Amino acid sequence: MNDDAEQQPLTRVPSYERDQLAKAFVTALTHEDDETRHRAEDRARRWRAVLDGLAEGSLTVGSRTPVAGLPAWVTPEVVRGGFATGAASAGGPLQPYEKEAARRAGVKADRRALFAHALTEGGLADLCALLDTGRYEVSVPEEAALLTVAWLVRSGQLAEAAELVEVLGPFAGRLRFTPRPSVAPAPDASAVHRRTVADAGRTLARRRPHAAVETQREALTVWQPFADELLVHWLETAEGEQVRAAGRRGGAGGCAYRAAAAG
């Protein structure tokens, strides 16, 4: 017996994560719909990143700061179950709107240059114009960071604006801190939606029966009632005097069984 067993740390086996990775791979390879396969490929990439991060020790499950090197205010990219992948939601390659903003500003197409431009007089004026018109979209909180700086500057709260810039600065080249412009103001706060009617309609049109759900439906509507009938038949044959008569009725039950199995 190992006397040090109680002192040894418990090692978590990432079976759930591996199962999700396997499911994503199967869907990516076998599903008939192109969009579904592409989404599955993306899920597989993210689950692979989760497993790699756990193996390397750069991810901590259940922590308020699950990704090493990212502070608590950075939104992590997560997959089903709340597992962080190690990436930041506001990270990744430059978005098309960021490239266009860099072109219009005449600066290098990278986030640090865009960050520096946003703090100039012209950059702050552009951000204030977005605040006034409401024609912008924010998909993750970080994209509103420089809008907040502009609002603080316009409100005369320069110390607070400088403090926020100091916090954001170390991540200026890595994260998106500007919102994406939109052609129309954001809808009223009382209007909430995830998808347009057209998007929802296309999704429903592509949906196919779910094998597990159909199996459960068959069990509840066919086999469970048949099991009840079978139990009644068994109880009726329990008395010796009734065996022959019940046996004749059992033939009808067998027909019902074959019909249910065929249906």
Residues 154, 100 within the same domain: yes
Type of residue numbered 167: V
Which 3-state string (H, E, C) describes 202-214? HHHHHCCCCHHHH
CA distances from 36 to 16, 191, 203, 210 (A): 21, 29, 10, 14
CA distances from 128 to 40, 62, 131, 229 (A): 40, 38, 5, 73
User: Does 131 reside within a domain?
Assistant: yes
**pLDDT grade for 12, boundaries at 50, 70 and 90:** low
Residues 107, 51 within the same domain: no
User: Does 198 reside within a domain?
Assistant: no
Residues 46, 108 within the same domain: no
Higher pLDDT, 35 or 239: 35
pLDDT at residue 165 greater than cutoff 80: yes
Q: Final residue of a domain: which of 131, 163, 191?
A: 191
The pair of structure tokens assigned to 8 is 């040894």
User: Does 203 reside within a domain?
Assistant: no
Question: Exposure of 194 by Cβ count < 10 A (0-12 exposed, 13-18 middle, 19+ buried)?
Answer: exposed
Residues 34, 50 within the same domain: yes
Residues 215, 244 within the same domain: yes
Residues 167, 219 within the same domain: no
For 37-49, how does the pLDDT look when each residue is reduced to its tens digit (9 = 90+)? Answer: 999 899 999 988 8
Total of domains in the chain: 3
- Mean per-residue pLDDT for 217-239? 83
Residue 177 domain boundaries: 96-191
Residues 149, 72 within the same domain: no
CA distances from 166 to 95, 100, 142, 159, 175 (A): 24, 26, 14, 11, 14
Residues 241, 160 within the same domain: no
Model pTM? 0.65
